Structure 1
Amino acid sequence: MSQLLGRQDCAESLRKDLVDLQAAVVDVFSRTGPVRVPSWKFPDKLSCNLDLVSLLEQYDFVDGEDEYNQHSHIVLLELVIDR
């Protein structure tokens, strides 16, 4: 499993999953209002206040940066859990 960590196709798949999850969250919020609970990944912030666009830009795949890509992969997985 560790051979997949940091691969571009995995990162792109996680990014798509996050966008889909965020769309579902926004859909629910449009009916119920925001759920004001702390973020799992960023406990100092409310989950409904996370700027997912900014986070996706920050943790994007970078050619030739294996260590950074592995870190980004883990962060993207944690954001899936957070959503």
Structure 2
Amino acid sequence: MAHLLGRQDCIDSLRRDLIDLQGVVLDVFSKTGPVRFPSWKFPDKLSCNLDLVSLLEEYDYVDGDEEFSQHSHITLVLQELLIDM
């Protein structure tokens, strides 16, 4: 599995999964209201107030920067955001 680490297709797949899941969560929140708890990843913010679009841009695949792309993948930044949803 290490050969997949930091690959653009893997990160793109995680991004799509996260966007799909956010859609489901927003649908549930439209019926129940948002959950108001501190973010696990960003404890100074409420998880319901995170800007997913800007976070996805910040932790995206970077062509030519293998180390950063691996960091984004290894630390599972995209998946850690799921905890906040």
TM-score by length of 1: 0.89
Deviation (angstroms), 1:78: 1.6
Q: Which amino acid aligns with 1:67?
A: E
Unpaired segments of 5 or more residues in structure 1? none
3-state SS in 2 of match to 1:61: coil
Q: Distance in 2 between matches of 1:61 and 1:39?
A: 23
Deviations 1:9-56 (A, max 9, x none): 110000001101111111111101111012222122111011000001
Mapped contact 1:17–1:80 kept (Cα < 8 A): no
Q: Which residue in 1 is equivalent to 2:80?
A: 78
TM-score by length of 2: 0.87
Unpaired segments of 5 or more residues in structure 2? none
Residue 17 (1) aligns with residue 17 (2): yes
Aligned residues: 83
Q: Distance in 2 between matches of 1:38 and 1:2?
A: 33
Deviation (angstroms), 1:63: 1.1
How big is the alpha-carbon RMSD for the aligned residues of Structure 1 and Structure 2? Answer: 1.3
Q: Which amino acid aligns with 2:11?
A: A
Residue 48 (1) aligns with residue 22 (2): no
Mapped contact 2:48–2:84 kept (Cα < 8 A): no
3-state SS in 2 of match to 1:64: coil
